[in-house]
Amino acid sequence: MMQEKIDTPLFQRLRFVLVQSSRPGNIGAVARAMKTMGFSDLVLVNPRFPDALQHEEAVAFASGAHDVLAGARIVASIDEALEGCNYAAAVSARLREFSPPVAAPREVAAHLAATGGLRAAVVLGNERFGLPNDIVEQCNVLINIPANPDYSSLNLAQAAQVVAYECRIAALDGQGPLASAVGFQGQAADLAQIEGMYEHLQQALVAIDFLDPLQPKKLMARLKRLFARTQLETEEVNIVRGIARHILQYRETGKK
């Protein structure tokens, strides 16, 4: 898999993912928010209505962004939605005990614009329940919009508009505050590769009795949060998986 060229515009590298959306109108409004800021890659995960992209309410609220709806995809899982991405940002007003690092939209947008190797996804949850913890923990960062603390509720399209706007400004600016501080020496690992690493590492930890599968508590969640504070490269993922493989082999044979 080839890494994106450093000069690939953010407009071509950023995907918006809506998880279990219940209102077709909100889907259309998100499509409109995306198009006004120059983005077009939209993926829905298990929307309430199977015809959500053609629903009359979605078409009406899209208000001219019908090409974004026409090009959107519906998938059955978050893994499918994030296929091909190596960075994911969850959007939530609710902070989690074991969430990845928390950042404001402007900070995340600057990072995405300055780091050309990222193929990123902005993940937004259900209008009523938001994003489940397991999806948030799978992401690299949690975007928390710094709204009025006494009334911080934004609807789905408003949240998407804020993030899309910040990403557009950062992309047009061409440089962000993280441009000189963050970069990759190697190819950024895909999210699927990172999930495979977690599964392999968990097997190794169970094998050496460091993790009790019947009482796992929060160990894996804490490890995911630890790794989320970095941007793992493919080679780094391979190193961790190599360690896990040797642990499992040693446990099975008693030999290195």
pLDDT of residue 98: 74
At residue 2, the pLDDT reads 42
pLDDT higher for 149 or 182? Answer: 149
Highest-pLDDT range among 63-77, 124-138, 140-154, 208-222: 63-77
Residue 1 has pLDDT above 50, yes or no: no
The residues spanned by each domain of the chain are: 10-173, 191-253
Residue 177 confidence (pLDDT):
44
14: pLDDT strictly greater than 70: yes
Look at the pTM and tell me if it is higher than 0.85.
no
Answer whether residue 102 shows pLDDT above 80. Answer: yes
Q: Which residues of 147-164 are buried (b: 16+ CB within 10 A; e: fewer)?
A: eeeeeeeeebbbbbbbbb
109 burial (CB, 10 Å; 0-12 / 13-18 / 19+) is buried
The confidence band for 3, taking pLDDT boundaries of 50, 70 and 90, is: very low
**Identical fold, 10-173 and 191-253:** no
pLDDT, residue 29, reads 97
Q: What is the average pLDDT score of the chain? A: 87
CATH number of 10-173: 3.40.1280.10
- Using only the alpha carbons of the chain, give its radius of gyration: 19
Of 46, 15, 19, the closest CA to residue 128 belongs to 19
Nearest to 112 by CA among 190, 35, 41, 13: 13
User: CA separation (Å) from 62 to 46, 66, 96, 244?
Assistant: 19, 6, 32, 48
Q: What percent of the chain has pLDDT over 90?
A: 54
pLDDT digits (tens, 9 = 90+) for 43-93: 999 999 989 999 999 999 999 999 999 999 999 999 999 999 999 999 998
Q: In sequence order, what are the residues at sequence separation of 6 or more whose Cβ sits closer than 8 angstroms to the Cβ of residue 179?
A: 110, 114
d(CA 11, CA 120): 10
DSSP state letters, the chain: -PPPPTTS-GGGTEEEEEES---HHHHHHHHHHHHHTT--EEEEES-SSTTTTT-HHHHHHHTT-HHHHHH-EEESSHHHHTTT-SEEEEE-SS--TT---EE-HHHHHHHHHH-TT--EEEEE-BTTTB--HHHHHHSSEEE-----TTS----HHHHHHHHHHHHHHHHHH---TTTTT---SSPBPPHHHHHHHHHHHHHHHHHTTSS-TTS-TTHHHHHHHHHHTS--BHHHHHHHHHHHHHHHHHHHHS--
Of 30-34, 115-119, 179-183, which one has max mean pLDDT? 30-34
Residue 131: φ, ψ to 5°: -95, 140
Contact (CB, 8 A) for 232 and 188: yes
Return the CATH architecture of domain 191-253.
Answer: Orthogonal Bundle (1.10)
Residue 135 structure tokens:
């999806």
Q: Say what the pLDDT of residue 173 is.
A: 86
User: pLDDT per residue over 185-202, tens digit each?
Assistant: 578 888 788 888 888 988
CA pair distance 186, 163, nearest whole angstrom:
27
pLDDT of 109 over the 60 cut:
yes
